[in-house]
Structure 1
Amino acid sequence: MNALPTLEPATDDACCTPAEPPALGADAAKRKAVVFKALADPNRLRLLSIVKAEPSGAACVCDLTEPLDLGQPTVSHHLKILVDAGLLSREKRGTWAYYSLVPGALEAVSESILAL
């Protein structure tokens, strides 16, 4: 029967030195959490996808309800969350609102994830 080796405590002082301050401060973490929370909903992900695929670069709210099979107030709520998170911008044209991706927003999210 083989005995398990005895593990000795580490004697290297470097393993117990305090870590550097977190690379992500509290304020930055809160801002990133808003974006991640906005992305955590399947309907909002679909909205981003639809807006991104729009050849003109902007999608009317009137064209976003049918693909999601949701009412206009619900779609508008989701769009507001995406605007507040800095992912979409809103432009009023007459009685309709048009939404487009904020330039660089999706790339910033990607970089933000990689930086964690």
Structure 2
Amino acid sequence: MSSVVELPVIQQDDCCTPLTTTPITLDQAARTASLFKALGDPTRVLLISIVAAAEGQEACVCDLTEPTGLSQPTVSHHLKILTDAGFLSRTRRGNWAYYSLVEGSLDRLTAALGS
């Protein structure tokens, strides 16, 4: 004689709440992909981290070459990509360029996926 074991029934509604209410549009997907593409290099993520941690969330390009171990032209290339993507802004003071974190720029990544 075998005994039957009853297992609890799990309702689909209880475990699988959607993360968003509607999918993003193709245009939104393209814009979001460009943001992630700009962050697709470890050096760029490091640069954003350094600028975000700097006093006033601003750093001179002269302070960004040593922590990355890269030449100034290479660092400037990465900074241009981050500036074009809207993560950083750039101001010139004499011969030096200073980069600041654009307020709310990192929040756009979360907002783009959670619409």
Do the two structures share a fold, i.e. TM-score over 0.5? Answer: yes
The percent identity for this pair of structures is 57
For residues 60 and 38 of structure 1, the distance between their equivalents in structure 2, rounded to whole angstroms, comes to 20
Structure 1 spans left out of the alignment, 5+ residues: 1-21
| Aligned pairs, number | 94
Amino acid at match of 1:107: D
Task: Report the counterpart of residue 101 of structure 1 in structure 2.
Answer: 101
Task: Report the counterpart of residue 53 of structure 1 in structure 2.
Answer: 53
1:1-116 superposed matches below 5 A = 23-113=23-113, 115=114
Amino acid at match of 2:40: A
For residues 53 and 70 of structure 1, the distance between their equivalents in structure 2, rounded to whole angstroms, comes to 19
RMSD over aligned Cα atoms? 1.4
Contact kept? 2:28, 2:112, Cα under 8 Å? no
TM-fit CA distance, 1:27: 1.8
Q: Deviations over 1:16-64 (max 9, x none)?
A: xxxxxx7322221111111100111100000000000101321000110
For residues 37 and 57 of structure 2, the distance between their equivalents in structure 1, rounded to whole angstroms, comes to 24
Q: Would you identify which runs of 4 or more consecutive aligned residues in structure 1 move more than 2 Å?
A: 110-113
Structure 2 spans left out of the alignment, 5+ residues: 1-21
Task: Report the counterpart of residue 4 of structure 1 in structure 2.
Answer: none
